[in-house]
Structure 1
């Protein structure tokens, strides 16, 4: 039987999943979390889906060994590559980020999608919502990982990718958890278009499921332990610039996965 007091595992290729973690902490303030950023192998978006699938299984296995009661795949590319297999085969509830935001998108008429090459190429979102337009934006993740979300270059890159979007687009799915950090640049290029990110929708889905399964933590303190496969100091610095306070941080060697 799963322990309600156990932490929730959250993982992404880098810092993008911190947008999902933030929403989860707001929706579930008494829960404790383990956040895993695979910063040694970021970005995932240009890698073959079978490779990303292997990464996802490795990280999920690590989180299970750390005793999590649920896993949130806070990465669109990993969700595209590894769900629903993870959800079917693991011993704890597993949540991805595609279906919750796609459900929200169905309220709009003409919906677009931007994401990594792997996410867009997988056509995973088309299982849940009809898309009028989709575009891979491979430079967006490196921009965020380099801390350039407010730099003028972000606006230039956004214009390059988004200038061909339909003029009557109503909503745009930010199909990568890194992309919410670029909302300012994207909004300038596509004014009036509703930008949909997966954080809040996923957090609501997780909270409802834990409540239904009797897995809400009755006495958690909202603690977060961060794990990274790359340089811890670089991660801590970038997370701080994103407004995330990192109090507990551990480096994980890839051989441990």
Structure 2
């Protein structure tokens, strides 16, 4: 993969956004594009979306990628719907400054709450997590009992149960909120006694219901898959919504003629709104390798891109 330090991806507002002050970026946003060589934008509430980046690079290694993780405001799952919509529009607006050809909402909470608003506001294809994950889950169940774990927002909005019911009304869906999984994942507690104890409590209703398929309805959850698998048992199929979403991106770009024709490895550039002390270690767990360079953009600037009270 091309060294991110030598990335050919540019933001028309600035040559470098590392530790950027909000007042330094005041020109109008760059519009979306239909250029196949343009980057794909990906955002998440934190670093869980890096699991989606990993799968997308595996599927489309020649695509250029711009990632934004809103690590200063994670988690989104405990926020109100209005706040999630506001943050999601801000995140997408930031990615649009790079002239992206598509945006992947690599956050199940944002996908369940803000997808329609994003599609109404931005002209580029917007790919969420819910529909791909639901379709993938339906393809694996044998007993028509599917479990879904996610944030409180994803579960309370019944995003997966609604979509699965639309696709197959005969399936029983059991949803379970697992709010502590995100902070555990962000801390890198992938095999911690506390993680296992909480997993046992969260997953008991799903085990008791006899689900044979479990959708990991949050992009943070795949790095906890060993703990989840141990608790659920080897007969339960775990569905990674990030893998499903990567297939959906391939399909969308193919149908729109937006696949990058270049045969060289794509560039990657990574932005976050905060860099915790454990970031590099935890990010490598999600992505599967070290990120050479992380760029920080201030939350004040991200917040300035959209306000529910002003727009």
What interval of TM-score do these two structures reach, taking the shorter chain for normalisation?
A: over 0.9
- How far 1:154 moved relative to its partner? 1.5
Structure 2 residue 296 is matched with structure 1 residue 251? yes
Residue number among 260, 269, 273 corresponding to 1:225 in the alignment: 269
CA distance in 1, matches of 2:276, 2:49: 16
SS in 2 for 1:226: strand
| Conserved 8 A contact 2:161-2:173 | no
SS in 2 for 1:132: strand
- How far 1:124 moved relative to its partner? 1.4
- How far 1:232 moved relative to its partner? 6.3
| Conserved 8 A contact 2:161-2:175 | no
Please, what is the CA RMSD of the aligned residues? 1.5
- How far 1:167 moved relative to its partner? 4.4
Q: Deviations over 1:11-51 (max 9, x none)?
A: 10111111111111111010010111100001111111110
- How far 1:234 moved relative to its partner? 3.7
| Conserved 8 A contact 2:270-2:295 | yes
CA distance in 1, matches of 2:75, 2:181: 10
Partner residue in 2 for 1:137 = 178
- How far 1:184 moved relative to its partner? 0.6
Residue number among 146, 149, 158 corresponding to 1:111 in the alignment: 146
Q: Deviations over 1:140-196 (max 9, x none)?
A: 000000110122222111001111223421111111000111111111111111111
| Conserved 8 A contact 1:11-1:36 | yes
SS in 1 for 2:270: strand
Partner residue in 1 for 2:252 = 209
Partner residue in 1 for 2:38 = 6
Q: Deviations over 1:202-227 (max 9, x none)?
A: 11111111111111112253221000
CA distance in 1, matches of 2:160, 2:210: 20
SS in 2 for 1:66: coil
The 10-residue stretch of structure 1 (166-175 or 236-245) with the greater mean CA deviation from structure 2: 236-245
Partner residue in 2 for 1:70 = 102
- How far 1:233 moved relative to its partner? 5.5
CA distance in 2, matches of 1:211, 1:190: 36
CA distance in 1, matches of 2:284, 2:52: 16
Partner residue in 2 for 1:181 = 223
CA distance in 2, matches of 1:241, 1:211: 30
Structure 2 residue 281 is matched with structure 1 residue 237? yes
Q: Count residues in correspondence.
A: 257
The 10-residue stretch of structure 1 (200-209 or 93-102) with the greater mean CA deviation from structure 2: 200-209
**Unpaired runs of 5+ in structure 1?**
none
**TM-score, normalized by length of structure 2?**
0.79
| Conserved 8 A contact 1:232-1:249 | no
- How far 1:89 moved relative to its partner? 2.8
| Conserved 8 A contact 1:225-1:247 | no
**TM-score, normalized by length of structure 1?**
0.95
SS in 2 for 1:9: strand
Question: Which structure would you say has the larger Rg?
Answer: 2
Instruction: Quickly say closer, same or farther: Cα 1:241–1:207, change in 2 above 3 A.
Output: closer
Partner residue in 1 for 2:305 = none
Instruction: Quickly say closer, same or farther: Cα 1:241–1:181, change in 2 above 3 A.
Output: closer
- How far 1:60 moved relative to its partner? 0.4
